[in-house]
Copies of this chain bind each other. A is one copy, B any other.
């Protein structure tokens, strides 16, 4: 540890009475603004810590069961790295079609078995509500890493943390969500989290992929200013955060409609000429052409930094639920 960097102010150590000790992370709905501020603060310290000392044996001797019922290299690797950067170990369970689930074992039994070996369970599962079932069965903390079209709370948290770290604050920002706003659990969860702040939300989507009316109503009740657009032109110049998601061809029954709209949802350097100098472009990745690779060198392109912020958020969450932050 470099002597010039004093870590003694860090909120780390044994805090078994800490509010998050033993808790599950299942849904963005469980967080208030105060919770977010706390998660952001711990995540920020994790960032500091990785930058200055690289690693830290905060979770030494702790074991994470990384239970992935469907593949996700990015999310799985991110949780693995988060645990290992804190000195902990991982039981990787990546290919569950070969496991006892294939033999007919129910999810509750699997989770109750794994908690005999591990201290915390991360679960990715294709069915909505599966993470809640796992959490109910387990005595040990469960973190939802995506349950079908349900929730993916750590993605929403890392998205919000990215904005906070890149632009310094969330209140007062104009955030434009672009692409398939109908099906994406990512944008739904993010919009809900952002509604804890005084933000203005723009929705830019093809007509058949608009933000669900229920969600718009939900946020309206929270006095969030929301505007829908069919294209970026009008709203891009005022945008602080452009959050891009993929428009999948398969969503369209009429291919001609897809061909007519797809160009409006591709971000390239020419499109970004109309954007502010201080703003950021985000994407949950993987991208398949929605943002051209020429954009990567633009300092406003924040999507790879976003991946890195994800590491810090997951380190923070693991430390919190294990009573170490």
> Which residues of B lie under 8 Å from residue A263 when comparing CB positions?
none
A81 close to B118 (CB less than 8 A): yes
A286 close to B81 (CB less than 8 A): no
The 8 Å CB contact of A71, one of B98, B104, B117, is B98
The 8 Å CB contact of A100, one of B81, B85, B93, B286, is B286
Copies of this protein chain in the complex? 3
A112 close to B77 (CB less than 8 A): no
Q: Does A43 contact B (CB under 8 A)?
A: no
Q: How far is the CB of A324 from the nearest CB of chain B, in Å?
A: 12
Interface segment, A54-62, A174-182, A236-244?
Answer: A54-62
* Bound complex: CA A304 to CA B138 (Å): 11
- The A53-103 residues at the B interface (CB cut-off 8 A) are 54-55, 60-63, 65, 70-74, 77-78, 80-81, 84-85, 87, 89, 91-96, 98-103
The 8 Å CB contact of A77, one of B65, B73, B286, B304, is B65
The 8 Å CB contact of A304, one of B91, B101, B113, is B113
Q: Does A251 contact B (CB under 8 A)?
A: no
B77 close to A117 (CB less than 8 A): yes
B116 close to A304 (CB less than 8 A): yes
Closest 5 CB pairs of A and B: A55-B61, A71-B98, A105-B286, A73-B99, A81-B117
Known: A73-B101, A103-B286, A113-B285. 20 other contacts (CB 8 A): A70-B98, A72-B100, A73-B93, A73-B99, A73-B110, A74-B99, A74-B113, A77-B93, A77-B118, A84-B89, A84-B91, A92-B92, A94-B98, A100-B286, A104-B288, A105-B285, A109-B285, A112-B307, A116-B311, A117-B307
Interchain Cβ contacts under 8 Å between A and B, 27 examples = A54-B62, A63-B85, A71-B95, A71-B98, A71-B102, A72-B100, A73-B99, A73-B100, A74-B99, A77-B93, A77-B113, A77-B114, A78-B117, A80-B91, A84-B91, A92-B92, A94-B94, A94-B95, A100-B286, A104-B288, A108-B293, A109-B287, A110-B286, A112-B304, A113-B304, A117-B307, A117-B311
Residues of chain A whose beta carbon lies under 8 Å from any beta carbon of chain B: 54-55, 60-63, 65, 70-74, 77-78, 80-81, 84-85, 87, 89, 91-96, 98-105, 108-110, 112-114, 116-118, 285-288, 293, 304, 307-308, 310-311
